[in-house]
A and B are shown apart, each in its own frame.
Chain A
Amino acid sequence: MTTRKISFTLNGEHKEFDVLPNERLLSLLRRNGFKGTKYGCLEGACGTCTVILDGKAVNSCLVFAFQVNGRSVQTVESLGIGEKLHEIQEALVSEGAVQCGYCTPGIVLSAKAMFDENPTPTVDEIKVQIDGNLCRCTGYEKILVAIDKVSKSHNQGGK
């Protein structure tokens, strides 16, 4: 099959990949060992496959791999390395918002994209941002509490 070479910044590092025609970013990432990006529908309806593309949370199952050529992609592998979790992960874990955990990486990245733009979103803003991330285990209650806690901590920190 004919492949094409693209390059982009992945988690801050310059990378080159051979992409298949019609290949989606999700598949490219997973095929290359970045399995932190999970998937639940492959049609843009569940948010499980969320990554950050040039600062915006996107469903990587809908993005063609060639579209990210020359751009910047961030996946969950860049957050919370080793024992030390990112503050969003830490909040989700400590609030008990991780049940099966399958939706969690996508939610972490949706929240991250939001906080990068606005460190202190309101509860309603959080609801809108996370609305595209389906979770069948938690009833969203603890997810909302956790992300709101991060927002509040930013507020207190004067950020």
Chain B
Amino acid sequence: MKPVTKMTVVNKPLRKIDSSALSQGKKLYTGDLAPEHSLYVKMLWSPHAHANIKKIDISKAEKMPGVKLVLYHENVPRIPHCTAGQGYPEPSPYDTFMFDKKVRFVGDRVAAVVAETPDQAEEAIKAIEVEYEILKPVFTYDEALADNAPIIHDEPEAFVPIPIPYEPKKNIVAKVGMKAGDFEKGMKEADFTFDELYETPYAQHCPIEGYISWAQIDPYGRIFITTSTQVPFHTRRIVARTLGIPVQKIRVIKPRIGGGFGCKQEMLLEDIVAIAAYRLNKPVLWALTRDEVFRSGRTRHPMRLRIRYGLKKDGTITAIGLDIINNTGAYGGHGLTVMSCAGSKVLPLYHVNNIHFNAISIYTNLPVGGAYRGFGATQAYFPVETMIDVMADKIGMDPMEFRKKNHIRSGEGHPAFEALGEGKPGTPMTIGSCALAECIDKGAKEIDWSKRLPHTEKTSRFRRGIGMSIHMQGSSVPEIDMGSASIKMNDDGSFNLLVGATDLGTGSDTVLAQIAAEELGTTLDKFIVYSSDTDMTPFDVGAYASSTTYLSGEAVRKTAEKVRQQILKVGQEILQKQGFSKKIEELDLHDAHVISLDGSCKVAFGDIANYSLYENNQFQIGAIESHITHKSPPPFTAHFVELEVDIETGHVKVLKYVAAVDCGTAINPQLCEGQTEGGLLNGISYALTEEYRFDEEGKMTNANFMTYNIFSMRDKPEIKTILVPSYEETGPFGAKSVSEVCINGGMPAIANAIYNATGARLKKAPFTQERVWRAIQEVKK
């Protein structure tokens, strides 16, 4: 393998191939492509958190102007399914129906109207008469787990397709856990022990393009769905199941996507547009309003985390105990996996021999948890990385030195990798590439860690603080997720690259083409990339679990390698005819030519393509390859933040944020920086402002961008991204993932910096002005 420095396409900040067209506002997104005379869907959502539907009368609505169809539980198939876009069979309960006789949260589906215009559909919604039998709702962790708690999923059909603990009668969605060493013994050996409770809020991905899908029937009677999804292949499978029709009947494509961050790893709208289009034989479009995206879309699971540590005076951690209660809301899609990741992506970061990890997911009558960038790890890093500071403080050690002493290194394994999988045991793994130590050093230098003073030396009203945290994530789900690609060569030496992988705005189409171009000795502009069409491209699980570069990227590299061999052979044949007799080993691909290593002869790709298509021994130069991974190598990152706290008001202003990231080889450094910056700002926003607020009935009260605050440009601190290269042997050209890991830092790094500024410890997020102010008052006491 060529060293990274010799590469001509990989590790270069090349332009994202779709960005010019996107900047021109071209018709590239789902909503831009909907047929002109599409019918529109509007949903009647449940106003109640928990209720049985005693009666629905749709007769008035059906007669309203423009109304074509009203769907509700009595006129659609009743097939239990799981909306989470995961591999099959999912480690998740099949607890959802297209429509049910019961509603389980404010924002659950009751009935859908399809009409000629959105206004007509809206009017008809108001004419649907529903009689509810209100049931006692379940909102808190304790209410869900209480004896005699109301049962949220009392329907007999709910089941899990693989043998994992599922106890809907107790509102328990899933349990995961692991033990290593002897936790109790480790706590006894300690000089100091710690036992704290932390809490994280409901939050939302807030892609600027909300959920949107449309479907039409093709001339052969198949359902053609265009949708803003991260998981086209899973969506096809789930829609087929929900409608009770074969997968063959459905085609799913995703055009450009206006952001996802995990919330579109879900089949949320597609079953409705599909069944409506099928019944009406007309195109049907459904787009959620922002209010609906908040209420009825997917969220980040809120968690309550109890963390226990044992610590020796010399800085050895003798035990860690992490007990999590995870609220999945009304449906259990990602309930198990998000907890597995809270363990497997977090526990291995530090050397601890005695481990207790126990997590339980519960149903409540609140919005539904989904996949969200960071996926459980983000929540678990809040207590873990805060407590690392607390412990360092206890023994008077610099928290950076404490981290350096204890963090995982290359060549080491961890029992959590083996214990925690996706509904089955995980995959044992030793860490290959790891530049975490260098990330810490570089980040510390950039923030000027040496100037950090203890909070006891700060007296002014506006107090500055510096904090840090370190993180790892994974790259793909090993032994489960599969990606594939196909490449064919065209007359002029250009290539079609077809991938199942789903570019949701990350730039993965560009990254994958860079990998292919490098392997084939040509340039990025020679690639026509087409991704994620269930009819046209090979399979891929989709964009989640930080898998695209590492998993789908290696599938692309393997495909290109096969094509490379074919090109070399044809090139050899042509050169032979020209009187140059060369062995394959004496040839290479370079600059879109087959060249001889001694420089004596070469033949251009265009000539090779023409020869193979038209002249002699004709065949299509092309290949298809697949890849699964056997490990999930973690990217690592060190985050540093400097901020200022107004101790009179509790206001926190983040001044500077540094992320040093080891993502292996950065296939496209500019895109890696972009992923890092987007992720870390989302993490800061999550730490400081973002949270769902509910009224007593379980209704979200801030379902809009005015009151659910996501960071805007003026909120942005100075951001510094430092890419620290390493080389992951198992990844394409040494690459690992980058997208998720950087969202994990905001909460703990900021909590640690607030402590460093004021001496106040925040254990409940987000750190609103009021919470910070109260925490400061506690310290003053």
Contact = CB atoms under 8 A, between A and B. Distances in A.
Interface of A: 35-38, 40-43, 45-46, 48, 75-77, 79-80, 85, 89, 92-105, 108, 127-128, 130-144
Contact of B25 (A76, A94, A141): A76
B19 to A, nearest CB: 4
A62 to B, nearest CB: 13
Contact of B24 (A36, A41, A96, A142): A36
Given A35-B31, A95-B670, 7 more contacts: A85-B20, A89-B20, A96-B670, A97-B674, A99-B259, A100-B506, A131-B714
Nearest to A99: B505
Interface stretch (B312-320, B483-491, B705-713): B705-713
The winner among B677, B680, B706 for most chain A CB atoms within 10 A is B677
Nearest to A80: B24
B23 A99 contact: no
Interface in B1-55: 13, 15-16, 18-20, 22-29, 31-32
Contacts of A97: 674
A101 B680 CA distance: 19
Contact of A93 (B23, B209, B506): B23
Interface of B: 13, 15-16, 18-20, 22-29, 31-32, 205-210, 256-259, 261, 289-290, 504-507, 670-671, 673-674, 676-682, 704-706, 710-714, 716, 719, 721
Contacts of A134: 206, 208, 705, 710, 712
A127 B31 CA distance: 29
Contacts of B673: 96, 142
A97 B505 CA distance: 11
Contact of A41 (B26, B205, B290, B505): B290
A108 B208 contact: no
A142 B719 CA distance: 10
B15 A135 contact: no
8 contacts: A38-B29, A40-B258, A42-B289, A43-B705, A96-B670, A100-B504, A102-B207, A140-B711
Contacts of A100: 22, 207-209, 256-259, 504-506
B678 A137 contact: yes
Contact of B208 (A36, A40, A89, A142): A40
A108 B23 contact: yes
Contacts of B16: 93, 96, 98-99
A46 B706 contact: no
A142 B209 contact: no
Q: Which 10 A-B pairs have the closest CB atoms?
A: A100-B505, A36-B25, A101-B22, A102-B258, A139-B677, A139-B681, A45-B705, A76-B25, A105-B25, A96-B670
B713 A40 contact: no
B155 to A, nearest CB: 35
Contacts of B261: 136
A58 B288 CA distance: 23
B505 to A, nearest CB: 2
Contact of B23 (A40, A98, A132): A98
Nearest to A100: B505
Given A35-B25, A45-B705, A76-B25, A140 B716 contact: yes
Contacts of B25: 35-38, 75-77, 104-105, 108
A101 B716 contact: no
A127 B714 contact: yes
B604 to A, nearest CB: 25
Given A43-B704, A98-B19, A138 B259 contact: no
B167 to A, nearest CB: 37
B716 A136 contact: no
Contact of B713 (A41, A77, A79, A144): A144
B712 to A, nearest CB: 5
Contacts of A41: 290, 704-705
A52 to B, nearest CB: 13
Contacts of B710: 134, 136
Contacts of B681: 139-141
Nearest to A105: B25
A140 B680 CA distance: 11
Contacts of A35: 25, 27, 31-32
A42 B60 CA distance: 29
The winner among A38, A98, A131, A137 for most chain B CB atoms within 10 A is A137
B20 A99 contact: no
A143 B678 CA distance: 11
Given A131-B712, A136-B678, A102 B719 contact: no
Contact of A99 (B674, B706, B711): B674
Nearest to B716: A140
A133 B713 contact: yes
A50 B375 CA distance: 33
A130 B23 contact: no
A142 B721 CA distance: 11
A112 B721 CA distance: 28
A70 to B, nearest CB: 25
B674 A143 contact: no
A144 B208 contact: no
A132 B258 contact: no
Nearest to B28: A101
A103 B706 contact: no
Contacts of B505: 99-102, 137
A99 B668 CA distance: 13
B557 to A, nearest CB: 23
